Structure 1
Amino acid sequence: MRNITVPVKNVALLAAQGQALLSAPQRLTHRLGLIHGDTGLGKTTGTAWFAIKHSAYYVRAMAAWRTPSALLRSICRELEIPRRRYLDDMLNDIVNKLSMEGRPLFIDEADYLVRFDDIRDTIMDMQDMSVMPIILVGMKGIKNEIKKSDKFDNRFLIDVEFNALDMDDARLITDQLCEVQVSDDLLADLYKFARGNTRRITTGLYRIEQVAASLDVTSMDLAKFREARGTYFLGVAA
């Protein structure tokens, strides 16, 4: 499998909306962004690609976090800021560095955070004071949690939802990632099994590559795959 980010529709939408957020004038002081969708649709991969491309800071939230201090300590580590004893000192250090460097901040797995009032307020404070974009990444349900606070919800400038891939996306991923030529009938069978889930499609393509390697061939069709593998992708009946 080739290690590249494929510009499927979800990624293209993120690139366009993300650029709009980063390019928004500073007078639009409320510059929060949201990336959300079901698991396995490529959010983390797409977000990491965009964050690296724009030299953004990237933090992953944890289920155990319940207070602003856990979030601020993690951001300080990412920004290589010495740990401070008091929350307001950590917050000021983070704000100063974000402002000085002009780099956005991504917070992945933000579902764990937005249900807590104190953490939501801290995120708003960071964004207001630094005037730098902060982008939250989470599961599909995160949007409903955000909407529980009008003050928080009104600060989001972009809303990027990752959806299931269509067949055109599946073919694009196959052609750009898979190092084996995959026939239309085999891809259709994989797509039916994966139901548009990016992770399942890419894992299925890896299995196709394995079968092709075992047969010492450079192309695979449905009949050849089933003869060698049965009707199975990922160890589960398709």
Structure 2
Amino acid sequence: MRNITAPVKNVAKLAAQGKALLNAPMRLTHRLGLIHGETGLGKTTATAWFAIQHNAYYVRSMAAWRTPSALLRAICRELEIPPKRYIGDMLDTITNTLSRENRPLFIDEADYLVRFPDLRDTIMDLQDMSTVPIILVGMKEIKKEIKKSEKFDNRFLIDVEFKPLDMTDARLLTDKLCEVIVSDDLLADLYKYARGNTRRITTGLFRIEQVAAQLAVQSMDLANFRAAEGTYFLGVSA
């Protein structure tokens, strides 16, 4: 399996809107971004790719976080600066560093944070004081939490929703990632099983590669896969 990011529609949309956010004029002082969607659609992989492309900082939230201190300490670790004893001092140090280096900040699994008013306010303070773009990444339901605060909701300049892949995307993903040739009938079976879920498609492609390696072949179709595995992806026994 090739370790690359395929330019499927979700990734292309992130690249376009993300670039627009990063290049937004400074007079648009509130520069928050949102990336959201159901699990398994490739948000984290695409976000990590985009963050690397643009030299961004990247923090993953934890379910146990309940206070601004937990978030700020994690950001300090990412910025490689010593955490401070007091929240105000950490906030000043972080925002000064972000502003000086002019590097955006991604916060993944942000669903854990936006439920709490103090954490929402801390994110707004980070963006206001640093003026750099801050992009939150979360599940589909994160929008409902964000909209509970009009002040918070109004600060988002981009809203990138990841959706299930269509068949064109599935073929593109297959051709870019898979190191064996996958026939249309085998991909169609995998796509029906995965229902457009990127993670399931990728896992299925790995299975196809393993079967191809066992058979010492460079291409796989549905009949050969079924003969080797004893089943279709959809679970119909041979």
TM score, norm. by length of structure 1: 0.98
Q: Which amino acid aligns with 2:219?
A: S
1:20-66 Cα shifts (integer Å, max 9, x gaps): 00000111000000000000000000000000000000000000000
Distance 2:140 2:83 in 1: 33
Distance 2:90 2:107 in 1: 17
Q: Which amino acid aligns with 1:43?
A: K
What are the residue-to-residue correspondences of 1:115-134 with 2, within 5 Å? Answer: 115-134=115-134
1:156-189 Cα shifts (integer Å, max 9, x gaps): 0000000000000000011111011000000000
Q: Who is 2:177 aligned against? A: 177
Distance 2:167 2:161 in 1: 18
Q: Which amino acid aligns with 1:212?
A: A
Report SS of the residue matched to 1:170: helix
Q: Which amino acid aligns with 1:237?
A: G
Distance 1:89 1:237 in 2: 57
Report SS of the residue matched to 1:168: helix
Q: Who is 1:69 aligned against? A: 69
Matched, 1:91 2:127: no
Distance 1:30 1:174 in 2: 39
Q: Who is 2:149 aligned against? A: 149
Report SS of the residue matched to 1:140: coil
> Could you tell me how far 1:118 is from its partner in structure 2?
0.3
Q: Could you list the runs of 5+ residues in structure 2 that have no partner in the other structure?
A: none
Contact 2:56/2:104 (<8 A) preserved: yes
> Could you tell me how far 1:231 is from its partner in structure 2?
1.9
Matched, 1:190 2:211: no
Report SS of the residue matched to 1:35: strand
Q: Who is 1:162 aligned against? A: 162
Q: CA RMSD in A?
A: 0.8
1:126-151 Cα shifts (integer Å, max 9, x gaps): 10011100000000000010000000
Q: Who is 1:18 aligned against? A: 18
Matched, 1:225 2:221: no
TM score, norm. by length of structure 2: 0.98
Contact 2:225/2:232 (<8 A) preserved: no
Matched, 1:80 2:80: yes
> Identity of aligned pairs, percent?
81
> Could you tell me how far 1:19 is from its partner in structure 2?
0.1
Distance 2:24 2:60 in 1: 25
Report SS of the residue matched to 2:114: coil
> Could you tell me how far 1:83 is from its partner in structure 2?
1.3
> Could you tell me how far 1:232 is from its partner in structure 2?
4.4
> Could you tell me how far 1:237 is from its partner in structure 2?
2.4
